[in-house]
């Protein structure tokens, strides 16, 4: 399944970015490939769209960036800050709550039938 509905995706890029960067600093391309691998390519977005989210998260203090020279090219590496870690914990709780609720709604009929 490929999910790209913008309204459904609200807050998802931030969650995925923070979660992926939790394992270590990455630059944009590296991050997008890591997200694709983690989500089994289920979430498809234009790869360039990740940068505004990175800039906004950095501006809000969730991420910090540094320039690093790799193979003669300057890359901008992003890493999660303490504030970002706290925000991620909140986002994870929020999404867990939503997925639990949807799981209940989807499984509701079967669950009710089993109860009878």
User: Does residue 79 belong to the site contacting other proteins (CB under 8 A)?
Assistant: no
C-beta separation of 22 from 88 below 8 A:
yes
Residue closest to 23 by CA, chosen among 66, 75, 79: 79
Task: Return the number of the residue (77 or 88) whose C-beta is nearest other proteins.
Answer: 77
Show the binding pattern over residues 37-56: x = contacts other proteins (CB under 8 A), - = does not.
--------xxxxx-xxx-xx
Cα 88 to Cα 18: distance, rounded to the nearest angstrom: 6
Mapping DSSP to helix (H, G, I), strand (E, B) and coil, where does residue 6 land? Answer: coil
Closest distance of CB 58 from other proteins, Å? 10
Judged by the rule CB under 8 A, the positions of this chain that interact with other proteins are 27-29, 32, 45-49, 51-53, 55-56, 59-60, 73, 75-76
């Amino acid at each position: 399944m490929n999910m790209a509905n913008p309204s459904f995706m609200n807050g998802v890029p931030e969650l995925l970015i923070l979660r992926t960067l939790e394992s270590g600093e990455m630059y944009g391309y590296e991050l997008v490939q890591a997200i694709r691998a983690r989500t089994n390519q289920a979430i498809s977005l234009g790869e360039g769209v990740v940068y505004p989210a990175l800039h906004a998260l950095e501006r809000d203090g969730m991420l910090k960036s540094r320039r690093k020279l790799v193979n003669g090219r300057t890359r901008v590496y992003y890493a999660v800050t303490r504030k970002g870690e706290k925000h991620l914990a909140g986002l994870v709780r929020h999404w867990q709550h939503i997925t639990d609720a949807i799981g209940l709604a989807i499984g509701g009929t079967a669950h009710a039938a089993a109860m009878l």
